[in-house]
Structure 1
Amino acid sequence: MLKIQEIREIIRLIDQSSIEEFLYEHDGVKVHMKKPNGSVPVEAVAKAAVVEPAPVAVVKEAAPQVEAAPAVPETKPAEAPKQEAVKAENLHKITSPMVGTFYAAPSPDAAPYVKTGDKVKPNTVVCIIEAMKLFNEIEAEVNGEIVEILVQNGQLVEYGQPLFLVKTE
């Protein structure tokens, strides 16, 4: 049965995406969400029990079950001039090939795969995207130098979302 935190995270993900309706069924649990006119009414039925959750929490397996439009990464006002300068250098963007959770290192106590200033080759693993409890290694696909890391460790990422900027050689 889904935990209340998992349902809350699903609600948050649906609310942030362009999805109009979401249906999830597993082991007698049925969650149906629909957001007409910007609101998110929720039905959660588990063998004759009705659950009305409120937002908050983190669920790693919920994100891959949601197809969403590509998101634009948030930028802080102070970063705007820096990004304009970076764009002028004609950088390659390494993007997320799926919806999931971004991890910069193979384990919490390990060093990150890459950091700003590191040289990469096409087969260099730069991060992991976790989707449905599967850890997918993401490779650089170009020769170059990591100029900027655009997401935080543990952050949920959307399909097509830029993860790294690489100055190609």
Structure 2
Amino acid sequence: MRKVFLTMAAVIAIASASFAQTGKNQLGIGAELGIGTSSGAGTVFGGTAKYLHGVGTAGQVTLTAGAMIDSESEGEAKATATLIPILLGYRHNFNGLYVEPQAGYMMSKFKLKVGGEEVMSGSDGAFGYAIGGGYAFANGLDLGVSFRNTTQTGSSGAIVFRVGYNFSLGGSN
């Protein structure tokens, strides 16, 4: 846990120093589809909101938060897992193409209902990270793919596909 706080403190310090720079500021929303990388892993659906703060001419500090849900049913039993990423990152743009490493906190919640009654639930969280890339079109459309994982024991990660739209909040291009 100490490493998580030290990493977050370092990222926040770097991000704070970068706010003095100028760049393109944006707010993005997107739909996501995640596919687990381990055998038998399910598919998760969800969405995220992303703030992109321009630094320099090609960089943006990013803050991403959202939720992804996986729900499975068998007979009277229904299991629901919710994954909540909160990630700070840096996006470097190359004329539309971009690369975006991220780090932060990922929380997971689990609920099991049988016959409509909740019989088990729980939540956990851990340091999380992602490495991704994509293409941001001039009209705001943003297509991306990333690999996300956590330090939780047994976590195998997921490949996440994102279709989003970035609204301009000003700043220089």
Structure showing the higher strand proportion among its residues = 2
TM over 0.5: no
Q: TM-score range by the shorter chain?
A: under 0.3
The higher radius of gyration belongs to: 1
The TM-score with structure 2 as length reference comes to: 0.23
